Amino acid sequence: MNGTWMIYGANGYTGELIARTAVEQGLKPILGGRNKEKIHALARELGLESRLFSLNESANVQEGLAGVDLVLHCAGPFSVTSAPMIESCIEAGVHYLDITGEIGVFEHAHAPAQSNRAQEAGVVICSGVGFDVVPTDCIALKLKELLPNATHLSLGFDSDSGISPGTYKTMLQGLSSGSAERKNGIITEFPLGTKHRFIDFGRGSRSAMAIPWGDVSTAFYTTGIPNINTWIPMPTYKILGARLMKWLKPILAKPMLQRILRTWVDKSITGPNEEARKNSPAYIWGEATTATGEKRTVRIQTANVYSLTVYGALAITTRLLERDLPGGSYTPATLFGSELIEQLPGSGSFQIE
């Protein structure tokens, strides 16, 4: 592999998993972040270089990125950290990847203000190189290949995986908002719990609820399909409970309560251990429909959501450093094709109907 790369936010649950697996694969990333104690300790243990810098000062970031060809950004919440890192990467001529699942971050990454400048600078921007959105993005592209004239796209997943501290914090931050879908090319919000159906994600038909998953943004840039919604399995009584959340939104949005909840996460949530990750695969599903009612369905079973994030992030990092690709904003599937997901450890093959 050619080039020097950095994991920024390697002190977090997923960032640390990626760092440890990278070393197991013989890779030597630089570990970056602002948590001095954790970054230095992990770097010493793994025999890696470490750099400490925050994203608050552009000059500090530029110094931290000196000599780096690619940043794998793992420091959430990405709604706060992604934009300054993207800006610094464009200025420094450094490729940018992240493992976000946040719709707003994807929209920012694909906005002309970023995409055009990245193209001019020869910088690749690709948000969502983890579980969100690699498997669903690849299914989206596969469905587009199977049904080029599709007008509607539904994507979703089913998994018994645990939740990491970073993911939990992102979920808490989103409690004050509703759900979202793309209608006629425009992202549109609607109350959580108001849209439901039955879906076979890969292990039998289950009741499911529409959620604001990242593909509401990214699948549009991958496929051009104008109507997109995203789903997870959810018991009916929990769907009804989700509807009641709209009455709590003003309270849940209060900064003081958000700080209390984040502190609780830091003290109480550790993320799934290795055994849990090995025993909880994910089941990915997608459905495309044309204006005349023609329909195709694709499913695939993959590794656990956190293991897949590690595999996806490292695969895209190494492939990008091995190739000379034009700059601009990409999704995982537009970078490396629909078959990318089938090539990752723990993944099966597409099951097409």
Distance CA 320, CA 336 (A): 9
Residue at 306: amino acid letter: Y
DSSP readout, 266-282? HHH-----HHHHHT--E
pLDDT at 253: 62
pLDDT at 171: 47
- Neighbouring CB atoms inside 10 A of 1's CB total 14
> Which residue stretches of the chain have pLDDT < 70?
1, 161-177, 242, 244-254, 257-262, 264-272, 276
pLDDT at 15: 96
Strands (E), 234-337: 282-289, 295-302, 328-330
Distance CA 108, CA 118 (A): 13
pTM: 0.91
CA 268, chain centre distance (Å): 23
| Contact between residue 48 and residue 40 where contact means Cβ atoms under 8 Å apart | no
pLDDT at 247: 55
Listed residue (183, 137, 195) closest to 336, CA to CA: 137
Sort 47 into a burial class: Cβ within 10 Å, 0-12 / 13-18 / 19+.
exposed
- Neighbouring CB atoms inside 10 A of 165's CB total 19
pLDDT at 162: 55
Distance spanning both ends of the chain, measured CA to CA: 38
Residue 234 has phi, psi (to 5 degrees) of -155, 125
pLDDT at 343: 98
Sort 267 into a burial class: Cβ within 10 Å, 0-12 / 13-18 / 19+.
exposed
Q: Which two tokens stand for residue 275?
A: 């055994």
Q: Which two tokens stand for residue 340?
A: 């990318």
Sign for the CA dihedral angle at 328, 329, 334, 335 comes to positive
